[in-house]
Structure 1
């Protein structure tokens, strides 16, 4: 079975379809990047004080790039928004560039239709490019 089976079927995978879509799109655009999913970043601090580790959705360690694929869960409560902001500050203070892909602004990426519709795939890729520059 393996990773490819899990990627296609998602029932035994921790990764969300939009996360895998972004990872695969980045790998296609930047074949020299070593892209990691759920990459553990440890020894973080905020203003010199220890902060818990982080496991962002997508990381490119060599580029010091973090991409967080934020679904609606990230906007459900003030507590979650505060946790996300602290995480972002800690990562940025450690030298990482953090890009948040916001489901409220990227309807095509977070719309499961992209799995079957070439036009929606193209629109989702364009949305990602807007964030990445």
Structure 2
């Protein structure tokens, strides 16, 4: 049995030696690697968006609140945006929230799509009762 294994190994080694070829060196030398220059692209800026008063007068963190208040109808003009405070939004949600605003709320908060109008009214009044941290 050991003789059979040794004979098989010899045959395999002879076969591999007959099949293998030495790797030929390349005919031409490898060209030097070209480094492509990195181009720094400038940030694209929209002059139309930059000219809007909302983008110049309101900080980015407040912009989402302003857009939500516009959708809800709390503010109608861009110049009102800088004068609106968080208390105005809270006052609106507690006192003047009406069913006509629910479509806008569901558009702003997709998680509210599964809620009934009564549940949505209850949630908005509860959210304003929680003190801000």
Bin for the TM-score computed over the shorter chain: under 0.3
From the two aligned structures, give the one with the greater strand fraction. Answer: 1
What TM-score do you get using the length of structure 2 for normalisation? 0.23
TM-score by length of 1: 0.23
Who wins on radius of gyration, i.e. which is larger?
A: 2
Is the helix fraction higher in 1 or 2? 2
